[in-house]
Amino acid sequence: MMFNSVKHPRAGSSSTSICTSVRHNRHRETPITIYLAMKCHALTCSRNLVQTLFQLGLCVSYDRLLQLRADMANGVLRFEMEQVVCPPRLHQGLFTNCAVDNIDHNLSSSTAHDSFHGTAISAIQHPTLDCLGDDRGVLDIGQGTSVSTSGALPPSYREVPPVASKTKQLKVPSLQAPVQPTSMETVVQGRECEFVWLKKVSASLDKEKPGEEWLTWAACHASLQEADIPPSAITAMLPMFLENAHTLAMIKHAMGIVEAITQHVNPTLTLVTLVIMAMLFMYELHDYLTPKLAEDLFVDTTRGSKLRINIDVVFPSIPCNMLSLDAMDLSGEQHINIHHNIYKRKLDPDGRPIDDPERQERKLFQLLKFLRLHG
């Protein structure tokens, strides 16, 4: 009755800003009429059905439904207020990481004439029981708006600036570390968990009456996890792009968007990142300036080329007939076809090389010859 009541202006009143002659005024809209229109349109996508129910006085009109949907979308979109394109589903104060990937959507309908190949950016947050973050998904729907379309994305987001590469050939640095891990501790820890499951299954087979135990691999490992189930991750997808993900321009633009979202949702993460980068720089500088002594050397033999290795070893005192070089792998097999030369040089107690007197006389003779020719 409230929604279908007629609201007329009073006689002799000149103010018609609020009291209008519209039959279904938005100031008298009830939740059931709005919900019924949204529910019917969401299930059937039929404009005629919504208009028929509106004429019967059961729900709002189709135009009013479009206005409400636009108001909800504009209430979510806070581009101008926040100066960044950030989904309201993301919480404030949580660690956020993003993923960029290509989207290939080939329509399976027989009447489809086109497909979509673009780029999508997803943001993922990882809340914990101690830190759930602050909810940002609060809608602010204006009462005086009459726009049936949602706002456009800002140019800083939808426009992908062009990027040119200085070099056409990308140079990938070679591997400087062994492919095989030096320690097998992680492998041993992973195998221990598997042995727990195998022992549990073996013990259940020896029993005459198996009890109510979790014997499958997934259920056994799930029972070993923590009792407190952490909250699920928060995911949100940003508006997609028509550009392909494998282009330099799109990747650079996506990195800028990810940086803006991370800085907006968790500003302290930027400061922590700067501190970590400074610490890593100091560690790398200290590691570069500190000499290292290694007893083994990894050589990549897949290239099939000769490798020249210079080894400088200092001995307090050793005769020349005891100097030799043997190449041997981890299994103890000795390698052949290795050419080596050994040069011996005298050093003083401080480790500085002592020049040979004959070499000094040769250098002096060459210097005098040069001065006599050009003097």
Q: State how far the Cα of 284 lies from the Cα of 72, in Å rounded to an integer.
A: 51
Q: How many CB atoms lie within 10 A of CB 204?
A: 12
In which residue are the tokens 């949702």 written? 265
pTM: 0.50
Reported for 57-62, long-range contacts at CB under 8 A and 24+ positions apart, including other chains, are: 57/3, 57/4, 58/33, 59/33, 59/34, 60/24, 60/29, 60/33, 60/34, 61/24, 61/37, 62/37
Decide: 95 and 249 in contact? Cβ < 8 Å. Answer: no
Decide: 96 and 267 in contact? Cβ < 8 Å. Answer: no
Both structure tokens of 332: 């103890």
Q: Please tell me the predicted confidence (pLDDT) of residue 145.
A: 56
Mean pLDDT by 10 residues, the chain (375 residues): 53 48 59 86 87 84 83 68 79 87 74 75 87 72 59 80 80 71 73 82 76 76 72 87 87 90 81 87 88 69 70 76 73 70 76 71 79 75
Q: Please tell me the predicted confidence (pLDDT) of residue 122.
A: 92
Q: State how far the Cα of 26 lies from the Cα of 7, in Å rounded to an integer.
A: 11
What residue segments make up the domains of the chain, in order of their start? 1-76
Q: Please tell me the predicted confidence (pLDDT) of residue 301.
A: 67
Sequence-ordered strand ranges (E) for 13-171: 96-105, 116-125
Q: Please tell me the predicted confidence (pLDDT) of residue 21.
A: 43
Q: State how far the Cα of 76 lies from the Cα of 91, in Å rounded to an integer.
A: 14
Q: State how far the Cα of 90 lies from the Cα of 123, in Å rounded to an integer.
A: 8
Give 255-295 as a DSSP string.
Answer: HHHHHHHHHHH-HHHHHHHHHHHHHHHHHHHHHHHS----S
List strands edge to edge, sheet with 96-105: 96-105, 116-125, 234-237
Helix axis angle for 248-265 and 267-289, nearest 10°, is 110
Find the Cα–Cα–Cα–Cα dihedral 247, 253, 256, 257, rounded to 10°: -110
